[in-house]
Amino acid sequence: MKLYVGNMSFDSSEAELRKAFEAHGKVDSVTIIMDRDTGQPKGFGFVEMSNEAEAKKAIEALNGKDFMGRTLNVNEARPRADGPRGGGRRSF
């Protein structure tokens, strides 16, 4: 199950995020989304856990909780919508 983790501190690392979620089950992967222009974190990321029960436990335990000075938003990730991603050129 893929989880969305929002409102993260910009100082959060993937290792720290993994540690927080591993307290609730096995973590398959952790990704913090970075701004491609600045290379800085965007303040959100994704955690993948293969066990659905453990993932739901992590959501209950971490959603609305303080993590590195910020209140996390944790929920099941929605599938990406198909369509343009932006960043293209516009002509007028």
Instruction: Output the pTM of the full model.
Output: 0.84
Would you list the DSSP string of 11-41?
Answer: T--HHHHHHHHHTTS---EEEEEE-TTT--E
Banded pLDDT at 79 (limits 50, 70, 90): confident
Specify the pLDDT at position 89. 58
- What are the structure tokens assigned to 61, written together? 């335990």
Would the pLDDT of 88 be above 80? Answer: no
Kindly list the domain boundaries of the chain, sorted by start residue.
2-76
Report how far residue 82's alpha carbon sits from residue 46's, in angstroms, rounded to the nearest whole number: 19
For domain 2-76, give its CATH number from 3.30.70.330, 3.40.50.300, 3.30.420.40, 3.90.650.10: 3.30.70.330
Q: What does the pLDDT look like over 16-38, one tens digit per residue?
A: 999 999 999 999 999 999 999 99
